[in-house]
Amino acid sequence: MRRFSQRNPLVTLSDLNVTPLIDLAFVLLVIFMITTPLLEQGLSLDLPGGGQPDRPLDKNDIRTVEVDQSGGYMLDNESLSLGQIEQKLVADHQNNPNILVYVRADHRGTYGAVAAVLNRCEQNGITRVSLRTEPE
């Protein structure tokens, strides 16, 4: 009886060698890891001259709105509702268009309370608003 060999020279290899693909993937990963921080830097700008320097802030131009954790509002250390704060800020803005509104909010409070103050300021044309934080 004749035995047939398992090795046939005409059989094609059906396995794919993935080692070069893995090497390529790691090389690309390293390249992207190196170049990504370089792309996140700011632009180097040479601004044109002219204009006027910012004038120093006057303490009478600053209004401070505080928002506590429960969503309560205070304007210059006086507890008021959001509508009352809006009325006072609008009246102050009509008398002095240079007012600056500081918004101080408790970090455990809701974002909606702060957004309500910002929205009321924007609706009434008060564009100089600053969100205050504690330095680290």
Question: Tens digit of pLDDT for each residue in 53-80?
Answer: 556 777 888 888 888 888 888 888 888 8
Task: Compute the distance between CA of residue 130 and CA of residue 135 in angstroms, rounded to an integer.
Answer: 15
- State the CB neighbour count (10 A cutoff) for residue 134: 6
Domain that holds residue 114: 60-131
* 97 part of a folded domain: yes
Q: What's residue 4's pLDDT?
A: 55
Residue 90: pLDDT band with limits 50, 70, 90: very high
How far, in Å, are 10, 65, 111 from residue 116 at the CA level?
77, 12, 9
* 32 part of a folded domain: no
* 77 part of a folded domain: yes
Question: How many domains are contained in the chain?
Answer: 1
* 110 part of a folded domain: yes
Any idea what the CATH number is for the domain that residue 115 is in? 3.30.420.270
Residue 66 and residue 73 in contact, taking contact as beta carbons nearer than 8 Å: yes
